[in-house]
Structure 1
């Protein structure tokens, strides 16, 4: 069979429940809904490490966090993986291109792509002028900002709106023509790739959007769709902290706290608006694919690296294992029926971002390299019953709130590695994670089951979280494991 083109679309910080086809009562995602109708929609897709850097390592390498070594968020750790999705597809004869966010190090590391047109958003380690060599300064590694300055003026910058890149509680409309927005830019550059690609080869295009990650800056027309609407509020668990004595909710980049109601409502409206803006721009790109004659021989995969808590349980941003942060949208679609995806199917098996790399290679009929922990999603997408994992393990270094979690899509167990605190949720009866079942005697057996599963998962880990089938709290958490950096290795003699 002829190799299909592959379009891989990622957005940054999009919750799994922000698709109208999944019953969200307010959001409009018509193009993504159509994509799902033409393919498989995965209802239990998770990111094991819910922040940008480790999640993208799983996407690119097909490895679990214990294998790729990134178990928290840390910049400036080199990306030197032997096998990446783009590199293996290039070996298989694909013309490979990334447009948008990579979030690797060094920033212009190709990671196997033939070319990248880069915009990672506001990256602190590249923006800070007192700690960068010229070759790693933001002006040298970002492609969007020079493009913007040629059109909007030499002084234009990402910070002109006064919104921080991690501000999940404040919003205002985009101040320039919509065509200059970073979302439109990704699509504009991707359409140009369709023009410039090698027509003798199948293509692998990764369209990687920075939004709906903050800043929450949708074009005014999109903000108008939701601003003033009676939006449903965040879910708040019975276990959630109600007090905010230090007024942390007033901080625009807070990770927790009681945010003023009007500010939070505006932020939620802007977040939905950014998603609808991306959806409409994807419609623009699908139209261009049709014009270039490639829509019906292309496998399309859509997902996010992680979610956004958006006020759930008085929490914001990501890193924690609750559904708003750790569960992601995932669609595998085939508009032309080229790869045999079951149209309109719904898949309930629990899957993780590590499964994407082997899925892309399987579609390309390319060999899956050794060391890949993920499994191809194509059999599930085709409606086949195949052996599958019964649960996944996730984790994230987060200081005093560092966590490990396990879920099978029906229950979720959370262990706070520093305090030993546990939580257990019945996701079928309680998808909002309102009721913590750890104190319910009826669930004592389930709690012990998951505790033992996690202890077995962590046995032998360098942090010392588990020994003899028992979880050990209080060990020092890490953002990267020693095998990634070479730390703790004994130098060779001579």
Structure 2
């Protein structure tokens, strides 16, 4: 007997900005396949990653929890994942055939986290590459499936470092040097298609296709590089509040978080970034065609998102972690090609959403009970709940990040940021200033708004172990933590 419940496909990319969809009017990037998915479902205008780096963002995806609950409030490697309830685990228990292809970024790297099977490529993870500090069992060679596949086809010496590009944060870009079919983005699509061949046809499936790009290295195949290199696109936005100079010349460092990068290098990095997105879009077209051939497209609910964005020179900043739109806002599409969910086709949703909402949404699609540990909410009824006022009014985000450690709250129309070490406040009117050029925290006109957001943040942080709130007020200078005590204790169980 065949199970008639819908299949579930979660597509995640790494470090893709929320504005990089042509359906949203991006002036350069072309994403026809993602645009088509958006036209066949819901496109969220205000989706965020509460803790916008890889590890904590994926904790939200896996568990449906807020940062306070999953405990990863900054970026820290080698903290074991021992969550009782995970998205793939709940679906597997409910009878779904589950598989992940691509990036997981969990610990240990080979943890299944509830999946029946994982075909793994986390990209270049430094802590698994440093041979002088790792046991053989934890080395990169033993916990990556793409690299052996690549070496079978490109030669035994092939490696992720062959282009000479840093694989985490470099602003240097150049075209992929091997046949396009060997690129990591093609590999994720190839392995995902192969799962359609090998799956148990009696069960509905949950497939998580997890791409490492457009995360650096900025290495698009030549055809995509040619499409964007030299294109006429706008410069990054720079706010009035941003550092306007770079006296230390930190922008000359190929691996940088901030600074003024030489214009030619910056333009090439931007071109490569957009090219990687278009490359993934074409690979998604390939995956959709295969799903049609296997007869499963119209019985599959498809969710597309990213773990966080990329500042890409906005405000002379790069990478992620910070609370600005380029870093914290992510694309989010829920597509229903076969009309299984009754979603209005091509609907645009302004309600604020977060990565924690994806787990309860997919469980809801499958008719599976949502564990009480989940803080997120199913997005299937978000339109109606927004109209009757029962949907959340804002989300809270944070990131331990040294002197730039911060807390933020937003509803997609305004955003309040508090820097926990310096006591600096920022308030942006996103409706009038979507690029966050002007900090209005000190303007009298916005005094009431600033107070409202501050009070909301106080409520969110009250009782936190860092001591950010005392006597009902925000207290700056408290040492930030990347992981809360309860997750460290649980990790050692």
Normalising by structure 2, we get a TM-score of 0.98
Match of residue 280 from structure 1: 282
Match of residue 324 from structure 1: 326
| 2:483 alignment partner, one of 464, 480, 483 | 480
Whole-Å Cα distance in 2 between the matches of residues 452 and 379 of structure 1? Answer: 28
Match of residue 465 from structure 1: 468
Q: In structure 2, the residue corresponding to 1:378 is in which secondary structure?
A: coil
Shift of 1:424: 0.3
Match of residue 154 from structure 2: 152
Instruction: Provide the aligned C-alpha RMSD in A.
Output: 1.5
Whole-Å Cα distance in 2 between the matches of residues 292 and 266 of structure 1? Answer: 39
Contact 2:124–2:168, Cα closer than 8 Å, also in 1: no
Shift of 1:44: 0.3
State whether structure 2 residue 410 is matched by structure 1 residue 407. yes
Whole-Å Cα distance in 1 between the matches of residues 124 and 384 of structure 2? Answer: 39
Q: In structure 2, the residue corresponding to 1:413 is in which secondary structure?
A: strand
Match of residue 395 from structure 2: 392
Whole-Å Cα distance in 2 between the matches of residues 381 and 285 of structure 1? Answer: 29
Match of residue 432 from structure 1: 435
Shift of 1:381: 6.5
Shift of 1:339: 2.0
Contact 2:382–2:391, Cα closer than 8 Å, also in 1: no
Q: In structure 2, the residue corresponding to 1:8 is in which secondary structure?
A: strand
Whole-Å Cα distance in 2 between the matches of residues 417 and 168 of structure 1? Answer: 28
Match of residue 105 from structure 1: 107
Whole-Å Cα distance in 2 between the matches of residues 124 and 271 of structure 1? Answer: 22
More off after superposition, 465-474 vs 61-70: 465-474
Contact 1:342–1:382, Cα closer than 8 Å, also in 2: no
Listed as ranges, the gaps of 5+ residues in structure 1 are: none
Match of residue 248 from structure 2: 246
Q: In structure 1, the residue corresponding to 2:230 is in which secondary structure?
A: coil
Shift of 1:253: 1.2
Q: In structure 2, the residue corresponding to 1:113 is in which secondary structure?
A: coil
The runs of at least 4 aligned residues of structure 1 exceeding 3 Å deviation read: 381-386
Contact 2:70–2:487, Cα closer than 8 Å, also in 1: yes
Alignment deviations for residues 4-36 of structure 1 (CA, whole Å, 9 cap, x no partner): 000000000000000000000111000000000
Shift of 1:455: 1.0
More off after superposition, 225-234 vs 44-53: 225-234
Whole-Å Cα distance in 2 between the matches of residues 354 and 459 of structure 1? Answer: 21
Alignment deviations for residues 254-289 of structure 1 (CA, whole Å, 9 cap, x no partner): 000000000000000000000000000000000000
Shift of 1:180: 0.1
Shift of 1:355: 0.3
Contact 1:225–1:273, Cα closer than 8 Å, also in 2: yes
Contact 1:40–1:381, Cα closer than 8 Å, also in 2: no
Whole-Å Cα distance in 1 between the matches of residues 383 and 136 of structure 2? Answer: 46
Match of residue 268 from structure 1: 270
Shift of 1:380: 2.4
Match of residue 235 from structure 1: 237
Match of residue 450 from structure 1: 453
Q: In structure 2, the residue corresponding to 1:486 is in which secondary structure?
A: helix
Q: In structure 2, the residue corresponding to 1:404 is in which secondary structure?
A: strand
Match of residue 312 from structure 2: 310
| 1:354 alignment partner, one of 347, 353, 356 | 356
Q: In structure 2, the residue corresponding to 1:299 is in which secondary structure?
A: strand
Contact 1:350–1:392, Cα closer than 8 Å, also in 2: yes
Contact 2:441–2:450, Cα closer than 8 Å, also in 1: yes
Shift of 1:425: 0.2
Task: Specify whether residues 375 and 383 from structure 1 end up closer, same or farther in structure 2 by C-alpha distance, changes over 3 A only.
Answer: closer
Shift of 1:97: 0.1
Residue-pair matches, total: 490
Shift of 1:469: 1.8
Whole-Å Cα distance in 1 between the matches of residues 240 and 338 of structure 2? Answer: 47
Shift of 1:233: 0.7
Shift of 1:385: 4.2
Whole-Å Cα distance in 2 between the matches of residues 461 and 352 of structure 1? Answer: 21
Whole-Å Cα distance in 2 between the matches of residues 383 and 9 of structure 1? Answer: 26
Contact 1:362–1:368, Cα closer than 8 Å, also in 2: yes
Q: In structure 1, the residue corresponding to 2:416 is in which secondary structure?
A: strand
Shift of 1:167: 2.9
Q: In structure 2, the residue corresponding to 1:368 is in which secondary structure?
A: coil
More off after superposition, 420-429 vs 223-232: 223-232
State whether structure 2 residue 119 is matched by structure 1 residue 117. yes
Whole-Å Cα distance in 1 between the matches of residues 385 and 299 of structure 2? Answer: 20
Whole-Å Cα distance in 2 between the matches of residues 239 and 24 of structure 1? Answer: 25
Whole-Å Cα distance in 1 between the matches of residues 90 and 239 of structure 2? Answer: 44
Whole-Å Cα distance in 1 between the matches of residues 270 and 46 of structure 2? Answer: 23
Match of residue 419 from structure 1: 422
Shift of 1:63: 0.3
Q: In structure 2, the residue corresponding to 1:272 is in which secondary structure?
A: helix
